[in-house]
Amino acid sequence: MPAQLLTVAAAIVALVALVTAWRVPPFLAFLVVSIGALIGLGYPADVVEPSIAGTLQKGMGAVFGQLAVTLVAGAMLGRLVVASGAAQRIAGVLCTAAGPGRVGWAMAATGFVVGIPLFYGVAFMLLLPIIRAVAARGRLPLIGVALPACAAMSVAHGLLPPHPAPTALVPLFKADMGRTLLLGTIVSLPAIVVGGPLFVRCLRGLRAAPPDTSAAPPATDDALPGTAVSFLTALLPVYLLGGASLLAWWPPSDPTVARFLALASAPDLVMLVALAIAAVTLGIARGTSLPDVMGIYGTAIADVAPTLLVIAGSGAFRQVLVDTRVDAALADALRGLPLDPLLLAWGVTAVLRVCIGSATVAGLTAAGILAPLLADAGTDPDLAVLAVGAGTLFCSHVNDVAFWMFRDAFGTSLAATARSWTAMESIVSVVALATVVVLDRLLVG
């Protein structure tokens, strides 16, 4: 047994080295590590017709089949929300409603609402010109305006479906997508408040010198879609999934109605319905032809393709642990540690996040190790997703692309970026974990 655990530890170290030191694409790194681990671990004697290719294909197919529609459709919806100007409309409305005295709170709300349907990188580039315009108009510190928005977008990326890591973690922990979204929203709010508007009050003397070419100017107001259609369309998956989860707490007695609600709350179907409605409300109804809308949807595939490959590769590594029965051995080894399972899940993920940099890779690697342990411990699967998601946010530093995006966009020094961005990421991670633990006590007790 110790030899098996050492083999898995060596595989994780190799994964970290391949991704960080040699810049190997995560998909290839996962495949190389999976093959090496499978050779080192071997198959149990009672496994019929073992095959390295079969294990890799089984693992990739299982996770890819569960997530492809949700992730691709989410990327398509986000791309149309950006292209139509709906996201800019949402940002402008929230900032205007808050007023100049509450800019930090307005930017946090803006980042959260915009960050739910959009991948972090897309949301960041979208809000960048708005952040700079708000700071210039109010003669406010740029970092003080930017950090609350970035905190909210980052939290949404780490905790809420349809973002890659939480979406991929839901089936791995056998959680419910809608319930994870509802509980994730509860967990997100205190993390955003503490890591955003409250934290920026403690920052002093941070200089920012953003380049003039960091972003294109926003569109004029009359070229944007209306407020109601922007909010309703961009957040439609949230309304549908959240509403279905609320209805599940009071299930209808009629079996036909119950089957219809179960079908209507399926994440894949919800995302497809949202895409169809968005094509009309943000596209055709505003004079964009259907082929042009489909062209926008097509370009979104490039946004999500690398993430899908990372998730598929992580599925292969997880299947290696399952087929060699090392997942059960790891669960037994970790079970003896005097730690709450949720704290353990966060800690393992946070260590991987610091080492690897990629939140998605860290979360999926941790899930492959921890899923059996958390299931045996009777941990709430939705809270398990959120504990791991909170760990994926911890201590973003120089091996994370988002660290450099923040530094380059606002022209901060490495030290200032660490004081602002890295500290903020660590704060939201710890606050999110604390909220998860509190929810666990309330739901269990």
Per-residue pLDDT of the chain (445 residues; tens, 9 = 90+): 578 878 888 988 898 889 878 888 889 999 999 999 998 988 776 665 568 888 999 989 887 887 788 888 888 998 898 889 888 888 888 888 877 778 899 999 989 998 888 878 878 877 887 788 788 777 888 999 999 999 999 999 999 988 888 999 999 899 999 899 999 999 999 999 999 999 999 988 788 877 654 445 667 788 899 999 999 998 888 888 877 767 666 667 777 777 777 777 788 888 899 999 999 999 999 999 999 999 999 998 887 888 888 888 888 888 888 888 887 777 777 777 778 999 999 999 998 898 888 888 889 888 988 888 898 888 999 999 999 999 999 999 877 888 988 988 888 888 899 999 999 999 999 999 999 999 999 987 5
Q: Residues of 392-421 as b/e, b for ≥16 C-beta within 10 angstroms?
A: bbbbbbebbebbebbbebbebeeebbbbbb
Find out whether 81 and 89 touch, Cβ atoms under 8 Å: no
The closest of 441, 444, 442, 406 to 425, measured between CA atoms, is 406
User: Which residue type sits at 208?
Assistant: A
The angle subtended at Cα 342 by Cα 341 and Cα 345, nearest 5°, is: 85
Distance CA 360, CA 246 (A): 28
DSSP E strand stretches across 381-445: none
The closest of 201, 125, 131, 187 to 156, measured between CA atoms, is 187
Find out whether 317 and 58 touch, Cβ atoms under 8 Å: no
The angle subtended at Cα 106 by Cα 83 and Cα 406, nearest 5°, is: 65
User: Which residue type sits at 34?
Assistant: S
pLDDT for res 47: 62
Distance CA 123, CA 362 (A): 22
Distance CA 179, CA 166 (A): 12
DSSP E strand stretches across 14-133: none
* Residues contacting 48, CB < 8 A, separation 6+: none
Distance CA 158, CA 367 (A): 14
* Residues contacting 445, CB < 8 A, separation 6+: none
Residue 77, class by beta-carbon neighbours within 10 Å (0-12 exposed, 13-18 middle, 19+ buried)?
A: buried
The closest of 264, 287, 305, 243 to 79, measured between CA atoms, is 305
Distance CA 442, CA 377 (A): 17
Distance CA 388, CA 275 (A): 29
Say what angle helices 120-138 and 142-159 make with each other, to 10 degrees.
160
Helix %, strand %, coil % for the chain, to 5?
Answer: 80, 0, 20
pLDDT for res 214: 41
The angle subtended at Cα 159 by Cα 406 and Cα 356, nearest 5°, is: 55
pLDDT for res 290: 95
Alpha carbon dihedral 313, 317, 323, 328, in 10-degree steps, equals -140
Q: Is the dihedral of CA 87, 98, 178, 63 positive or negative?
A: positive
Distance CA 313, CA 294 (A): 29
